[in-house]
């Protein structure tokens, strides 16, 4: 899952990056409004964390451009502006959530998880597929209540596939959700992660099917 942080406070941005990367999210950053706007117009993200007081383009203007392009990417406004008028303006412009600085990192992480689930159509915190269970809050996978040890990359691939179960996901889309800015991950690496997932999920009765020329599809286990 790839997140864009649009924040000009270097200390805060660095702290957010470390926290989110420790939770296995891929993170990119923008320090100005026009940089954030350019990234959002050319790339796809699972979530945007947006400061309103950005230089060279206000955060509300960035949000307005994003929604004008028809994007439904979840946006969490993170700002020191705490007036009711500011909250109303942000939400009316199309923000999905609004968090005022200072804040607790635990609360921010919880809101991030909730917005990502909402943006991908998830409603609960646990997905169950036969003997396979995925705890979205804890980001852990179980088979018959036994934990499955996945690397951060393997978990990232699994998460995208399970949240889009029954739909084909391209290698390019998987790369986009996993890659950190400057990483060298490519479609060949995705093939390796999928191969490892198949081995680790053999007892789960789910199938990661290759759709030639298109990508991968996670199928529900068949009823016995």
Q: Where do the structural domains in the chain lie, given as residue ranges? A: 2-119, 126-219
Counting other chains too, the contacts that 67-70 makes at CB distance below 8 Å and 24 or more residues apart are 67/93, 67/94, 69/40, 69/41
In angstroms, rounded to a whole number, what is the distance separating the alpha carbons of residues 190 and 39? 23
Fold for 2-119, please state it: Rossmann fold (3.40.50)
DSSP classification of residue 104: -
> How much is the pTM?
0.59
Res. 121: pLDDT tops 60: no
pLDDT of residue 10: 93
* Yes or no: domain 126-219 corresponds to CATH 1.20.1440.230: no
Average pLDDT value for the chain: 86
Percent of the chain scored above 90 by pLDDT? 40
If residue 49 lies in a helix (H) or strand (E), which one and from where to where? Answer: strand 47-50
> 62-66, 67-71, 113-117 — which is least confidently predicted?
113-117
Res. 149: pLDDT tops 80: yes
> 9-13, 98-102, 130-134, 162-166 — which is least confidently predicted?
162-166
Res. 168: pLDDT tops 70: yes
* 219, two tokens: 């199928």
Q: Name the 3-class secondary structure at 195.
A: helix
pLDDT of residue 181: 43
Res. 224: pLDDT tops 60: no
pLDDT tens-digit profile of 76-110?
999 888 888 888 888 888 999 999 988 888 888 88
| Top-confidence residue, 120 or 146 | 146
In angstroms, rounded to a whole number, what is the distance separating the alpha carbons of residues 31 and 56? 10
pLDDT of residue 179: 63
Percent of the chain scored above 70 by pLDDT? 92
Res. 216: pLDDT tops 60: yes
């Amino acid at each position: 899952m790839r997140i864009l942080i649009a924040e000009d406070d270097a200390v805060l941005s660095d702290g957010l990056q470390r926290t989110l990367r420790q939770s296995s999210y891929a993170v990119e950053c923008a320090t100005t409004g026009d940089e954030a706007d350019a990234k959002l117009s050319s790339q796809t993200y699972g979530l945007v964390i947006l400061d309103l007081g950005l230089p060279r383009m206000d955060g509300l203007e960035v949000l307005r451009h994003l929604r004008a392009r028809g994007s439904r990417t979840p946006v969490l406004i993170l700002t020191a502006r705490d007036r009711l008028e500011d909250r109303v303006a942000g939400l009316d412009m199309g923000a999905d959530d609004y968090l005022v600085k200072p804040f607790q990192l635990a609360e921010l992480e919880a809101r991030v998880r909730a917005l990502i689930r909402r943006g991908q159509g998830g409603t609960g915190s646990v997905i169950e597929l036969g003997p396979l269970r995925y705890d979205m809050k804890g980001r852990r996978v179980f088979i018959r209540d036994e934990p499955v040890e996945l690397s951060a990359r393997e978990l990232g691939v699994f998460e995208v596939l399970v949240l889009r179960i029954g739909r084909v996901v391209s290698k390019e889309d998987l790369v986009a959700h996993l890659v950190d800015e400057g990483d060298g991950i490519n479609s060949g690496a995705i093939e390796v992660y999928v191969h490892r997932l198949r081995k680790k999920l053999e007892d789960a009765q789910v199938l990661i099917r290759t759709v030639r020329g298109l990508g991968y599809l996670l199928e529900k286990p068949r009823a016995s």
